[in-house]
C-alpha cells in the first residue's frame, strides 16, 4: 500500500494538466500535492480528505524549488507541516475517535487555487477525483472511514465512496471546528454518536456548520 501510494504521489507532483482555477509553477516551488501516508503503529486506519491544498508559503516554495519532487514535498510536510494548524487538530480528532492507526491524508483536487482567477475548482475536482483520488482510496482497507473536511470534500466522499463511513467536519481553523473537536475529545454525547457511526460502516453523517 505504501509503495503504491508513493507512486501515486510522484504522479501527482508531476501532473501538468493545469486545470482552470488552479495554480501550479514548479519554477517557484509550487507543485500539485496533498497525498501523504502517515504510518502509525496503532489499530484502525483513517482517510482524511480535504478539498485542495492551501497556498504554499515562501519557506515551502524555497525548499521545493531545490528539488521539484514528491520526495521533497513529503520531507517538507514531515519537518514543517505535520503538526501544524491543519494536520495537528485533525490528527487529535482522529485519535479521539479511537482511530490510532495510519492516516491517509489527501485532497479531492491536488493543486492550490489560483489567487488571481478566484474561479471555481470544478474541473480540477472532476479531473483529480478520477485520476488520483479514487485510486488512492482503493489502496486503503475497506474498513477505513473518511473524515471529510468541509462541504466540498464531504459531498465528494459521499458520492464517490458509498461503502465507507463518511463523516463531514468543518475546516480545522474555524471556531465551530475547535468547539466540535473539544467536544469529541471530552467524550461527550456527540463523541459517542460519531464512534457508533464509524463502527456502523457505510453511514454518512455531517457535523460542519460552514466550509
Unique residue bearing C-alpha cell 501550479: 24
Residue 145, classed as helix, strand or coil, is coil
Predicted pLDDT at 208: 65
Q: Which residues of the chain have pLDDT under 50?
A: 210-211
Predicted pLDDT at 77: 98
| Cα 99 from Cα 136, distance rounded (Å) | 19
Predicted pLDDT at 211: 39
Predicted pLDDT at 119: 67
Predicted pLDDT at 206: 84
**CA 61 from centroid of its chain's CA atoms:** 20
Q: What is the residue extent of each domain of the chain?
A: 2-206
Q: What is the pTM of this model?
A: 0.94
Predicted pLDDT at 70: 98
Q: What's the topology of domain 2-206?
A: Uracil-DNA Glycosylase, subunit E (3.40.470)
| Cα 142 from Cα 165, distance rounded (Å) | 10
Predicted pLDDT at 209: 60
Amino acid at each position: 500500500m505504501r509503495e503504491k501510494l508513493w507512486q501515486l504521489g510522484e504522479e501527482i507532483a508531476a501532473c501538468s494538466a493545469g486545470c482552470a482555477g488552479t495554480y501550479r509553477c514548479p519554477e517557484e516551488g509550487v507543485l500539485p500535492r496533498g497525498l501523504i501516508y502517515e504510518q502509525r503503529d496503532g489499530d484502525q486506519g483513517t482517510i482524511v480528505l480535504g478539498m485542495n491544498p492551501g497556498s504554499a508559503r515562501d519557506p515551502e516554495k524555497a525548499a521545493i524549488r531545490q528539488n521539484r519532487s514528491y520526495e521533497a514535498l513529503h520531507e517538507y510536510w514531515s519537518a514543517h507541516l505535520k503538526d501544524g494548524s491543519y494536520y495537528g487538530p485533525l490528527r487529535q480528532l482522529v485519535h479521539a475517535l479511537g482511530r490510532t492507526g495510519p492516516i491517509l491524508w489527501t485532497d479531492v483536487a491536488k493543486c492550490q487555487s489560483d489567487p488571481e482567477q478566484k474561479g471555481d475548482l470544478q474541473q480540477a475536482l472532476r479531473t483529480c477525483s478520477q485520476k488520483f483520488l479514487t485510486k488512492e482510496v482503493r489502496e486503503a482497507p475497506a474498513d477505513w472511514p473518511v473524515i471529510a473536511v468541509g462541504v466540498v470534500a464531504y459531498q465528494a466522499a459521499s458520492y464517490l465512496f458509498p461503502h465507507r463511513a463518511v463523516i463531514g467536519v468543518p475546516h480545522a481553523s474555524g471556531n465551530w471546528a475547535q468547539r466540535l473537536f473539544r467536544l469529541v475529545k471530552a467524550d461527550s454525547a456527540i463523541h459517542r454518536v460519531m464512534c457508533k457511526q464509524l463502527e456502523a460502516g457505510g453511514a454518512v453523517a455531517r457535523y460542519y456548520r460552514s466550509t
